[in-house]
Amino acid sequence: MLLQSAIVALGGATLAAAVTPLEVQGQQFVNTKSGNAFQIVGMAYQIGGSAGYDPKHGKDPLSNGDICKRDAALMQSLGVNTIRVYNLDPNLNHDECASVFNAAGMYMIIDVNSPLAGESLNSGAPWESYYAAYLNRTFAIVEAFKSYPNTLGFFSGNEVIDNVKTGATVPPYVRAVTRDLKNYIKNHADRKIPVGYSAADVRDVLEDTWNYFQCAIDGDEDDMSRADMFALNSYSWCGESSFQKSGYDTLVALFKDSSVPVFYSEFGCNTPSPRVFTEIGTIYGSEMTGTFAGGVVYEWAQEDNNYGLAECNDDGTVTLLADYHTLHDQYSKVDFKKVQSVKASGKKVSPPECKASLIKEKGFNNNFTIPAPPPGAQKIIDNGVSPKPSGKLVDISDYSVKHKVTDVDGKSLSNLAVKPLSGDEINTPSGGSGSSTSGSSDETGNAAPTLAPQGSLSAATIVIPAMIALSFTAGFTLF
Ligand SMILES: *[C@@H]1O[C@H](CO)[C@@H](O)[C@H](O)[C@H]1NC(C)=O
Ligand SMILES: *[C@@H]1O[C@H](CO)[C@@H](O)[C@H](O)[C@H]1NC(C)=O
């Protein structure tokens, strides 16, 4: 209650309601208002790929409000509740985009790094790239995003460790960056925003990477260099696979007793193509939700690597691809009302103690002496970034989509708009919520329908009351 009134007081009456900030409790992300554990229904969002991050021209994926409205409207009807954004410029204004995604009931997971020189750790020689100006950049990202209630967490690194060689040198530096970010947040943010790592799913080093980041140095669970969450980019479920065939079962066995939340920071193998997305039923089914906190589909905008759900053109027009509809259909089979209303378990798992024997792979770093902050960094951690970027929710007067959006069958979609949700509401896929048959979500993974060929997945062929309601309130019909 306190938080809610604080937000209202801050923004005045016209501000759209805000999503409730999430908190890490044991292995789960918890909505403190509802007391429910949260499952990420996520989307990787990087319009234009890494070229979409162009600080020289004042451009990053969350700097154009109209583009965000367009994509938020389309992702809202898909059922997305979280976006992951990779490359951001802390000095651009993200207020409109953050406010649009907040109103649409979506959280944001933010990577603090970028591929530009000096803006991430160099995995070949991490000691050379760990310096104050680099850290200052990551802290500036925290400043830019810390005040949005829908900021779910920060990634201190993405796939910096991808084999035993990088596993030999990089881990202490990622823990150092994690520590510095957590200290920065502790000193300068109003709430404890989680910081974690997004790992490559390379089985030689995955377990060691997770253990290196979750373990307690000298048994101290509150050690600031310990990750608050752990995620992995996994592409092992391809086509009509299964819990066992994809190896998801071994991941569940591995992470079952994780001391921190675990989720897929990317998934969505694209061979065969178009995709069938049969993993959705399993990711949100009973075999996984006790261990994984959902996942992030890779990715929203089509690029050369062919993972996109939507062709996003330079002129702002969009053409939806068949995969968009397939994913929607798979989400529709899951009873998300049930999935998202599981009470937080309150279960706390103690992390293992950091010791050399915790590390299995020969050559992977097993030294838990974490480098001290580089010269000049502690002063920034103490006093804050200067000058300081800032972000705040703003009032959005018009939620309508300005750009032309065409469906996969060539029909243009009219009256598209983001539908601002009421207080505390989180966006959710529309299907399945009417049915409460227990266990229905488990079957979808194995009993996937034969996919209709591209083009025949046309609008309005499925009539479910909840969907009709959605299309009325949102002012358009997509399905
Ligand atoms: C720290 O970041 C801010 C915001 O980007 C920037 O203006 C400032 O010059 C940076 N300071 C250092 C020491 O790199
Ligand atoms: C662990 O790393 C620290 C810092 O690099 C170093 O001083 C120490 O000698 C290392 N310990 C072992 C056992 O290699």
Q: Checking DSSP bridges between strand 292-297 and strand 310-312, what pairing results, if any?
A: unpaired
Q: Does a cis peptide bond (omega within 30 degrees of 0) precede residue 453?
A: no
Other beta carbons within 10 Å of 315: 8
Other beta carbons within 10 Å of 397: 6
Share of the chain above pLDDT 70, in %: 86
**DSSP for 249-284?**
HHHHHHHTT-SS-EEEEEE---SSSS---THHHHHT
Higher pLDDT pick, 424 / 312: 312
- CA–CA distance, 130 with 462 (Å, rounded to integer): 54
Catalytic machinery residues: 159, 266
At 153-181, the pLDDT tens digits run 999 999 999 999 999 999 999 999 999 99
Question: Are 296 and 267 in contact, with CB atoms under 8 Å apart?
Answer: yes
CB of 367 closer than 6 angstroms to any ligand 2 atom? yes
SS3 54: strand
Ligand 2 centroid vs 369 CA: distance in angstroms? 6
At 265-280, the pLDDT tens digits run 999 999 999 999 999 9
Ligand 1 centroid vs 89 CA: distance in angstroms? 12
Nearest CA to ligand 2 atom 2: 369
Q: Where are the domains of the chain?
A: 22-458
From the CA of 379, which ligand is nearest?
Answer: 1
The ligand 1 atom at the shortest distance from the C-alpha of residue 389 is: 4
Against a cut of 0.85, is the pTM above it?
A: yes
Other beta carbons within 10 Å of 450: 7
Could you please state the CATH topology (level 3) that the domain comprising 22-458 is classified under.
TIM Barrel (3.20.20)
Ligand 1 centroid vs 106 CA: distance in angstroms? 29
At 233-252, the pLDDT tens digits run 999 999 999 999 999 999 99
Higher pLDDT pick, 477 / 163: 163
- Among 296, 238, 289, 299, smallest CA distance to 265 is for 296
From the CA of 370, which ligand is nearest?
Answer: 2
Higher pLDDT pick, 96 / 470: 96
Which region holds residue 407: left if phi is over 0, alpha if psi is between -120 and 50, else beta?
beta
DSSP 8-state secondary structure symbol assigned to residue 61: T
Residues sharing a CB contact under 8 Å with residue 391, sequence separation 6 or more, in sequence order: 93, 94, 95, 98, 143, 144, 145, 146, 147, 148
Residue 4: its pLDDT value, please? Answer: 43
At 181-229, the pLDDT tens digits run 999 999 999 999 999 999 999 999 999 999 999 999 999 999 999 999 9
